[in-house]
Structure 1
Amino acid sequence: MLFDPYLHLRGLSARDLDDLAFFGVTGALGPCDDGVVPATAAALRRDLDAQVGPRLAALRRAGLRGFAAVGLHPRRIPARGLEALLHDLPDWLGRRNVAAIGEVGLDEVTPREELLLSRQLELAASLRLPVLLTASWRARLKITRRLIAMVREAELPPERVLIARADPGAVRMIRACGHCAALSLSARDGAVDEAVRLVRALGPEGIALASDAGEGGGDLLALPRAADRLRKAGLSLAVVKRVCRENALDWLGVGSGAVASAGARGRRPAG
């Protein structure tokens, strides 16, 4: 019973979701991302509606317990209408099965990006929601440090913060600050084996494995594959459960029982 905390729902077909359920993924979190082009306020509103509506419904039809994370991405800040979007964001966050704010973060670390992130961190604190953060591929370690500093300034509970696509070299720092580091299993060639080595070296605390599938060359079945590699590497079933399900659910504040019961209703993919 696996839970994928970083799945790009817009790029997945019904057959893809059926395959996930067949291979043991019982639940997933789909965050908003940078896929809205052009990033007008109207287009972002349509995307937010799709995220909390049809995309979540597709997960349920496949027998997965689906959750959404909703937020405004730093690479898609509209030229007009940002204040109105921020004002209305709690309406989307209040929808059923919207469990977190995200993905939010920093890309070029401009003052406008930092202001947008600060406003969304304040919203997370006031609504007591977990946050999914992301850092640009450029200068990832430096940007991750800035993200952590801004979380501290916002006085968010550290355990309610997950940093997606975490740089392997930043995992120790992220965990030391009380946050969860989500390792992308599709980040590069050999990412699954790299994740297995990290879990063996550091232990399972504060690490969540995520497929990062649904955009680009993401590996749809990376999470089941990683769970299998972990077991073949001699790691216990308890460790596999921690990094492939429990740590992500603890961050979300969701009980594993609900995800397991949803997965029991999963369907086999069509032949």
Structure 2
Amino acid sequence: MSWFDAELHPVALRRGDLEDLAFFGVAGALAAAGDAGVPATGAALRRAWDALAPGALRRLRRAGIAGYAALGLHPRRIPWRGLEALLAELPDYLGRRHVLAVGAIGLEEGGPREEALFVRQLELARELRRPVVVHTPWRDKERVTRRALALLREHELDPARVLVQRADARTVRMIRACGYAAGLSLSAGAGDALDEAVRLVASLGPDGIALGSGAGEGAGDLLALPRAAGRLAKAGLSPAVIRRVCGANARALLGLAPEPAAASARTGRPSSR
């Protein structure tokens, strides 16, 4: 089987890292704009978007991995100057090849400024009919996630096109109860995130769960996704369940074909939008 990583941070990864991913069966990945090492200025954010798409996506494809991006203004990197110009330019960036979604957007601490930016990007995603990748913080996760879910419901985005990243045992049920996909990061938080993800998939089933390595950011485990597939198999879960949480659910959310056919890997065109 081949895997699709629902949370990869490829900008910081070396060529050898990407080749290792491909060797161990990672055939595709979603890379969302984040906050790592990016000062909150308009110029720096534009450079970060360029570094991701087309920059890192090209390197992924040269390594044999079909890479796709989500671009947006992260709540931890809201510029005090030039925000309106960035929002006006964002649709053009979203029109770039292999850029399929808006994100990562969401809330970090909450409050009027973060919420206003989140809502404006949700409205843009709805207007452009794009999937949304939603960031949730490590601190005060339950409260902030609950508020983000309320804003998502208020703006009536298609639940099947929303991925709420960095869910955990405290929030995965509320995310799925709203009909959204919960992204479990295999390298994040305290304790063994990989074991926790295996436990959650085993207890809750595969519906609305997408696993992401988190590799390329902090102490992210480069091979977390193949390791998770192996542990899920050892836990007695079926190949169909493993296939869904290790790729098929994320691909469906993005409107991609169930398996990364050679033609789509070359062109980067999804089967449907």
Q: Look up the match of 1:268.
A: none
Q: 1:137-176 maps to which residues of 2 (within 5 A)?
A: 137-176=138-177
Q: Indicate conservation of the 8 Å contact 1:209/1:223, yes or no.
A: yes
| Aligned positions, number | 264
Within 1, Cα distance between the matches of 2:170 and 2:264?
34
Match of 2:51 in 1: 50
Q: Secondary structure at the match of 1:241?
A: helix
Aligned residue type for 1:256? P
Taking the aligned partners of 1:263 and 1:17, their CA distance within structure 2 comes to 19
1:203 to 199, 202, 205: 205
Give every structure 1 segment of 4 or more consecutive aligned residues whose post-TM-superposition deviation is greater than 3 Å. Answer: 262-265
AA aligned to 1:79 is W
Question: Contact between 2:38 and 2:48, CA under 8 Å: does it hold in 1?
Answer: no
Gaps of 5+ in 2: 267-273
Kept after mapping to 1: 8 A contact 2:105/2:118 = yes
> 2:66, 2:265 within 8 Å by CA — same for their partners in 1?
no
Q: CA deviation at 1:167?
A: 2.2
Per the alignment, in what secondary structure is the counterpart of residue 88 of structure 2? helix
Once structures 1 and 2 are overlaid, which stretch shifts more, 120-129 or 168-177?
168-177
Q: What SS class does the counterpart of residue 101 from structure 1 fall into?
A: strand
| Percent identity of paired positions between Structure 1 and Structure 2 | 61
SS of the counterpart of 1:168?
A: coil
- Give the counterpart letter for 2:237 in structure 1: L
Give the Cα separation in 2 of the matches to 1:237 and 1:223.
Answer: 14
Inter-partner Cα distance in structure 1 for 2:254 and 2:264: 18
Q: Deviation per CA, 1:102-160: give whole Å up to 9, x if none.
A: 10110111211111100000000000000000112111011111111111111100111
Root mean square deviation, CA, Å: 1.4
Query: How many angstroms does 1:243 deviate by?
Result: 0.4
TM-superposed CA distance for 1:262, in Å, is 6.9
**Is the partner of 2:246 in helix, strand or coil?**
helix
The answer as to whether partners of 1:168 and 1:183 remain within 8 angstroms in 2 is no
* Deviation sequence 1:226-247 (CA, Å, 0-9, x none): 0000001111000000100111
Alignment of 1:8-47 (within 5 A): 8-47=9-48
**Residue 67 of structure 1 corresponds to which residue in structure 2?**
68
Please, what TM-score do these two structures have when normalized by structure 2?
0.94
The one-character-per-residue Cα deviations of 1:11-47 (angstroms, maximum 9, x if unpaired) are: 1111111000000000001110002432210111111
Alignment partner, residue 223 of structure 2: 221
Q: How far, CA to CA, are the matches of 2:265 and 2:90 in structure 1? A: 33
Letter in 2 for 1:206: G
* 1:27/1:263 contact within 8 Å kept: no
The 5 Å alignment of 1:77-92 reads: 77-92=78-93
Secondary structure class of the residue paired with 1:217: coil
Q: How far does the alpha carbon of each residue in 1:160-199 deviate from its partner, in whole angstroms, 9 at most, with x for none? A: 1111000222111111111000101001431111111111
Distance 1:262 1:145 in 2: 40
Q: Which residue of structure 2 lines up, in the alignment, with residue 103 of structure 1?
A: 104
Q: Which runs of 5+ in 1 are unaligned?
A: 266-271
Would you say the 8 A contact 2:186–2:213 is kept in 1? Answer: yes
Confirm or deny: 8 A CA contact 1:133 1:161 kept in the other structure.
yes
User: Who is 2:256 aligned against?
Assistant: 254
The AA in structure 1 aligned to 2:196 is E
Counterpart AA for 2:132: V
